[in-house]
Amino acid sequence: MTSATPAQQTQAQARAALRAAFASAFEREMSLSGGTASAQTALRAAATATRDVLALRWAQTQLADAKRGAEAPVRRVHYLSMEFLMGRALSNALAALGLDGDLRELLAAQGLQYSDVLEREPDMALGNGGLGRLAACFLDSFAELGLPSFGYGLRYQYGMFAQGIQDGRQIEMPDDWMRLGQPWEVPRPELRYHVGFGGRVVVEDGGARRWQPAEVLEAQAYDFIVPAHHSERVSTLRQWHASAAAPINFATFCEGDFMGAARHRVAADALNWVLYPDDSTEAGRELRLKQEAFLTSASLQDLIARHLREGAPLQELGLRNAVHLNDTHPALAPAELMRLLVDEHALGWDQAWAITRQAVSYTNHTLMPEALETWPVQMFEQLLPRHLEIIYEINQRFLTEVAQRFPGDTGLLQRVSLIDEGHGAGSGGQRRVRMAALSIVASHRVNGVAALHSELMVQTIFADFHRLFPDRFHNVTNGVTPRRWLQQCNPSLSALIDGRIGSTWRQDLMALQQLKPLAADVGFGAQFLAVKRANKQRLADLVRSQLGVALNPDSLFDVQIKRIHEYKRQLLNILHVIARYQAIVANPQADWTPRTVVIAGKAASAYHMAKSIIQLAHDVGRVINSDPRVGDKLKLVFLPNYGVSLAEIIIPAADLSEQISTAGTEASGTGNMKFALNGALTIGTWDGANIEMAQAMGVENMFVFGLRTEAVAQLKQQGYEPRKYVESNAQLKAVIEAIANGAFSFGDRDRYRVLVDKLLGQDVYMLMADFADYLAKQAEVDALFKQPAAWSQRAILNVAGMGAFSSDRTIEEYVARVWSRESLA
């Protein structure tokens, strides 16, 4: 028997020490509970024990990063995002540390089930949709690739909201995810920074301008540690918690006005409560702006303090540090960085601007002009007067350069100005600050998140800026982490893949290409379908327990889970379900492919049309699911309170992934990648990352339908008349009439009047134009699903083609083109 090498012996000793430390910490935490062995106490004990191990790795990582020399090829990345949709932490940490087996043994000794303990952990409510989940995947890849980095966000106490359903209607409730404590976070009481609002700007002796805020908040750091799975590196999510810098007004308190004595403290605490406060009110809009300013100021102060603490000169800040803006929410960063460098650290304007331009880069996530943030100048004057002065100065210098390059082109100056003088669409006649324009002007690199998105971005919303800075724009297609979105959420499929090609795909997703020859292997295909059916049964059990609806796991599971929005076209999905229902009722004896349609997602609290779509889904599901003529031929269920943990159950169970946005509206999408990675076929438009996925796996392996981007634009230009499509398609007309006549709303013709009128009138997202092609492609889906071997072959080819869609590849591209020192050359 071959003896272990010294390296292997050292590794084994380290492994034994890690397991012993974890077991000791777990036993210690369990003893603190008074000897009560419950799933909740075990969760806290396991989380705390795991966090202690990770804290040591965090310290080692920071020490190693601090020792990097001035000529290090990769700058430290500071990723600013309003949301990080992390999901549960315990299973990910245990998998990364290789301690899941150890915890199973420790729990068994306490008479507890491993799965019961994992289920007790709430999702971290720090995000909402794809933007936040992308940021979470990036943190995983930061750690895996050993990238010196910090993610920066806010510590939301109640998330966006917990979604409830009452009589088919969405209701919003606080997502009190920290109610029982948050054992994962590491408080950093030594890291506190002051953030100001309001007040005035004064001129000091010598002409320097100084902001005197009327309100001062204190930002305290709380760290969440994200481990690598194949090294001892970690990345850090640093969250900021707001509190008033001033204590209570003691005199007011003594007068008996207790609320008045603490009013400023409650106002400060409000910044911590909710992600994306309802912006339909002035107070809600003001709170959003304050949150964004708070995030950027605290994060940049922390960056500068670390940079100086490591002994680096301030002049090298941009050479050593990258500040990346995840969409326009943190777009105040350039103005705040300029304020800190000029006002607080006495650098000259030109030097500060050069540093800012080196440091800042920006990712755009939308093609919709209305989604590009703008803020009223008046609100800036009230809350951020010094920042407004700096933005004015940036704008004046920028427009002077543009005027010199393009003399006499006043239209160009108006379009690219950082200030909308009240003439732009959506300005309402108000002067507004254009945050995307500020981001572009201040950044050395600007990217879209899929090839088509990046192409359309420079042709439409940013065409003028591309004309000015053609080399500044580029594409970095999004990706997802295979550690969470295959290894953890689908262990059975992971084990099946490991058994055939090994486990290297966890680090190099391109290894999945080795599955291509196995797609035609009948035995492997049968095993693949068996894994899928087991995952479908797990989802069916969840639906039965939550909704009381029995699903047939042998039916085709047709899934659409994402933020509810008109452009994502959940309504088109529902129209197909109604058409299918009507056809089944008309001919129940036909050879129908049984189908289960699953929808999940939240609508913004003030988005009434999206909430109407949720209600329609419930109304249609209620009718179909209770109709004995239909039985298992068709079911429609809406799963409430969609989040990461729910997605981890739904995605492995999906046979068909609905990615049906109007062509030219979806920036990228990452749900499409997760579904394909787990063996679902895609029905989708030629939009976002669907295009690159189809090219990678073979377009014949995706069900592509609908108008292309060029055709959408051409039809709108010609004068799109949705009513004509309805009148010429008897099936579509029957669907629309059923909704309008109250067939799904107890005869109430008014419930969906606005929705129907919008479809027949404007139909901005072209549902009527794409309906016929969508149904034709759904018929192809039915036909293929009746051939299990052919279906599994295509599904396996989908998995094999997903190698390029790892977030590791995405981050490597950011490093090469944006975050390395070489990218500044």
Gap between the Cα atoms of 286 and 694, Å rounded: 43
Helix extents (H) in 216-281: 250-254, 258-261, 263-269
Instruction: Identify the burial level of 787 via C-beta atoms within 10 angstroms of its C-beta, where 0-12 means exposed, 13-18 middle and 19 or more buried.
Output: exposed
- Widest CA span in the chain: 89
Going through 545-686 in order, the beta strands assigned E by DSSP cover 556-561, 595-600, 634-639, 656-659, 681-684
> Which two tokens mark 22?
């974890």
Q: Which amino acid is at 618?
A: H
Collect all residues with Cβ–Cβ distance below 8 Å to 795 and sequence separation of at least 6. Answer: 528, 532, 655, 679, 680, 681
Contact criterion met (CB below 8 Å) for 568 and 562: yes
State residue 478 phi and psi, 5-degree precision: -60, 165
Gap between the Cα atoms of 433 and 449, Å rounded: 24
Sign of the Cα torsion 505, 124, 226, 666 reads positive
> Which two tokens mark 803?
């190698």
For β-strands 419-420 and 432-434, DSSP reports them as: antiparallel
- Residues annotated as catalytic are 365, 562-563, 568, 670, 674
Contact criterion met (CB below 8 Å) for 289 and 281: no
CA angle 750–662–412, rounded 5-degree value: 110
Q: 43-82: buried (b, 16+ CB within 10 Å) or exposed (e) per residue?
A: bbbbbbbbbbbbeebbeebeeebeeeeeeeebbbbbbbbb
Gap between the Cα atoms of 243 and 375, Å rounded: 24
Gap between the Cα atoms of 490 and 652, Å rounded: 6
